[in-house]
Amino acid sequence: MILIVAEHAGGKLAKSTLEMVTAARGSGREGPVTLLVLGQGVTGVAKEAAAVADQVLVADLPALAIYNAEVWAAAATQIAREGEAHTVLIGGSRSGREYAPRVAVKLDAPYLEDVIGLSAQGDALRAQRYTFLARVTESVEASGPMIVVTVKPGAFAPAAPAAQPGEEYDVDLDLPAPRVEVTGRSVEKSSRVALAEADVIVTGGRGVGSPENFATYVEGLADAIGAGVGATRAVVDAGWRPYAEQVGQTGKTVQPQAYIALGVSGAVQHLSGMGKSRNIVAINKDAEAPIFKVADYGIVGDVNQIVPALIEAAKK
Amino acid sequence: MKILTLVRQVPDAEARIKIQGQAVDLDGTTVVIDGMDEYGVEEALRLREAGADVEEIVALAVGPKRNEDALRTALAMGVDRAIHVETDEKYDAVALSRIVAQVAQAEGASLVLVGGQEADWDSQALGAASAERLGWPQLTWTNELKVEGDTLTGRHDVDDGNESFRATLPAVVTTQQGLNDPRYPTLPNIMKAKKKELRKDDPATYGVTPTVKVVGAEIQTRARRNTMIDGKDPQAAAQHLLELLRNEAKVIA
């Protein structure tokens, strides 16, 4: 079987889970597509999962109330072994890429990380992935009785519900006690659409000028067109914006339909996080900014003058 | 406590990447110590300077001969000695973690510092895979770290924000931007570093084979429209851009 560990948040199945179902079904690997739902109070998530999978395994346990890498790795490993999975798919989120390597080591399986393409080649599994700060696409191959894969968010289309919902089964797990104690949590909540889920993202760089300008222009435009908000590393380092908004090598990788970069110069590390966006729009007063080299639409001009006009026009 | 800190050598972010045959060819490319690993080296030094009971700091590199440069940089920054497992073999993170774990055990390290994401393989797996092999907990994407006795506290980034944590050594910590500002080696320290031990290990002694094979590589650039709009008249430019986004790209309503 192909085992997918479902990603979910706030009682809802994440888009990344639907994308993993597409990756699994298109991979040419045989067997039922099984979603494993880990958490506490996840009945609703399991129902959503059943709509797209052949079967759903639900571990609704107090020990799974809070994510922990060692606990999640133990859970996925047990189910993979008991269910004799030959392929284990895990989301390419920060947490997914944190516990998936532990699963691979526990299963003594090769690990294909953050893949954007997946296909069976006889007994082997071939994957495509970005390397060298997303400047290169490499094809990699692994074989073995079990292979662990993390799937890059946004790389596959979300699966549509199947004609027949999959069966749900409750599973029990023998889980280790977490050894890392969480002593505080700061969740960066935003009323806007999350970066990983956004079709359109408006990102601000240092060229926006100030935190106040960021709020007025970047957030203003995002709100006018229903987009998510991103920031460059320079802006986050300067303390203008929270880390959760950072796009780039050390932040999030995004692949929206449109990426609107305001006052962003386009350093390689930033391009590695957004360079695969379907359409890139750049507004920057520096005509030499590298961002223009990758832009579909560019305006050389002052963000402070062009963006208010843009917000005004978008509202009409 | 002994600290093991990993250093890798990667192409400079601005360096041109070329493909030879079916693989990335780094011959002639400017390579540098991976920035993410540099934060780890710096953090090890800072933990000692902040008064943690650090007996020794050892830097480890696995890779071709040129990795000596990265190790010399780490030595010049202040680590005590270095181990180089010299090999031209390309190990994926899960395979490489076998070497890391064996060295950590042989050295009696109780804290392993690894960069959060490798700038060549774009992989985040080395820290977690090493932790699993050692049977240790891990803290990834750490941006604040303190060691008191064998208690590790700090803060790290998670999917939707950040968390403060407490754990007991031994542990693996992955490092990143924001944790510290790595120091530049001074000339006297560069001179001193030449006398520090840089041990060469034979990769065969670790009995590791790669588990993932690279079968192709392509530099892919998406063809971009590169439509430039005159920005002299902000109103007209804004209107024109919106029309293009609505009617040509069809990305906004």
Coil vs helix vs strand at B68: helix
CB contact under 8 A, A243 and B140: no
Q: Please tell me the predicted confidence (pLDDT) of residue B16.
A: 86
Is residue A295 in some structural domain? yes
> Residue A182: closest CA among chain B residues belongs to which residue?
B165
* Residue at which a domain ends, from A137, A170, A203: A170
Angle A94-107/B93-107 helices, nearest 10 degrees? Answer: 70
* Same domain? A239 vs A149: no
CB contact under 8 A, A102 and B164: no
Coil vs helix vs strand at B177: coil
Any idea what the Cα angle at residue A219 is, between residues A216 and A220, rounded to 5°?
60
What's the CATH number where A260 sits?
3.40.50.1220
- Picking from A184, A281, A293, the nearest residue to B241 by CB comes out as A281
CB contact under 8 A, A132 and B162: no
Is residue A289 in some structural domain? yes
CB contact under 8 A, B237 and A299: yes
Give the minimum alpha-carbon distance from A142 to chain B in angstroms, rounded to a whole number.
5
Flag whether A39 is marked binding: no
Is residue A190 in some structural domain? no
Q: Please tell me the predicted confidence (pLDDT) of residue A117.
A: 96
What phi-psi label fits residue A182: left (phi over 0), alpha (psi between -120 and 50 degrees) or beta? beta
How many CA atoms lie within 13 Å of B119's alpha carbon, on the beta-carbon side?
26
* Same domain? A27 vs A166: yes
* Same domain? A82 vs A117: yes
Chain A interface, mutation test: which of B22, B102, B122, B165, most A Cβ atoms within 10 Å?
A: B122
Sign of the dihedral through C-alpha A203, A207, A210, A216:
negative
* Same domain? A15 vs A162: yes
Chain B interface, mutation test: which of A99, A292, A299, A302, most B Cβ atoms within 10 Å?
A: A299
* Same domain? A73 vs A219: no
* Token pair for A14: 């994440």
Who contacts B58 (Cβ-Cβ below 8 Å, separation ≥6)? B2, B3, B4, B5, B79, B80, B81, B82, B83, B107, B109
Is residue A175 in some structural domain? no
Pairing outcome for strands A297-300 and B227-229: parallel
Which residues on chain A are in Cβ contact (under 8 Å) with B141?
94
* Same domain? A23 vs A137: yes
Each of the 316 residues of chain A gets a pLDDT tens digit; together they read 999 999 999 999 999 999 999 999 999 999 999 999 999 999 999 999 999 999 999 999 999 999 999 999 999 999 999 999 999 999 999 999 999 999 999 999 999 999 999 999 988 999 999 999 888 999 999 999 999 999 998 889 999 998 899 999 999 999 999 999 999 998 876 667 878 778 999 999 999 999 999 999 999 999 999 999 999 999 998 999 987 789 988 788 888 999 999 999 999 889 989 998 999 999 999 999 999 999 999 999 999 999 999 999 988 7
Which residues on chain B are in Cβ contact (under 8 Å) with A137?
217-220
Element at A130 (helix H, strand E)? strand A124-131
Is residue A61 in some structural domain? yes
Pairing outcome for strands A55-60 and B161-168: unpaired
What's the CATH number where A11 sits?
3.40.50.620
* Same domain? A154 vs A29: yes
- Picking from B133, B163, B178, the nearest residue to A182 by CB comes out as B163
Count other C-beta atoms under 10 Å from residue A123's C-beta.
10
Which residues on chain B are in Cβ contact (under 8 Å) with A140?
212-215
Is residue A80 in some structural domain? yes
Coil vs helix vs strand at A283: strand
A165-174 in b/e form (b: 16+ CB < 10 A) is: bbebeebebe
- Distance, in Å, from the CA atom of B89 to the CA atom of A44, rounded to the nearest integer, reads 48
Is residue A187 in some structural domain? no
* Same domain? A160 vs A204: no
- Distance, in Å, from the CA atom of B41 to the CA atom of B112, rounded to the nearest integer, reads 10
* Same domain? A200 vs A296: yes
Coil vs helix vs strand at B83: strand
Count other C-beta atoms under 10 Å from residue A28's C-beta.
12
Distance of CA A17 to the CA centre of its chain: 10
Flag whether A192 is marked binding: no
Is residue A106 in some structural domain? yes
Domain residue limits at A35: 2-170
If one looks up domain B2-206 in CATH, what number appears?
3.40.50.620
Q: Please tell me the predicted confidence (pLDDT) of residue A189.
A: 67
* Under 8 Å between Cβ of B38 and B9: no
Element at A314 (helix H, strand E)? helix A303-315
The single residue listed with the structure tokens 């209107």 is B239
Give pLDDT < 50 ranges for chain B: none
Domain boundaries, chain B: 2-206, 222-253
* Same domain? A92 vs A223: no
Flag whether A264 is marked binding: yes
* Same domain? A7 vs A66: yes
Q: Which residues face B166 on adjacent strands?
A: A181, B153
> Residue B142: closest CA among chain A residues belongs to which residue?
A250
Domain count, chain A: 2
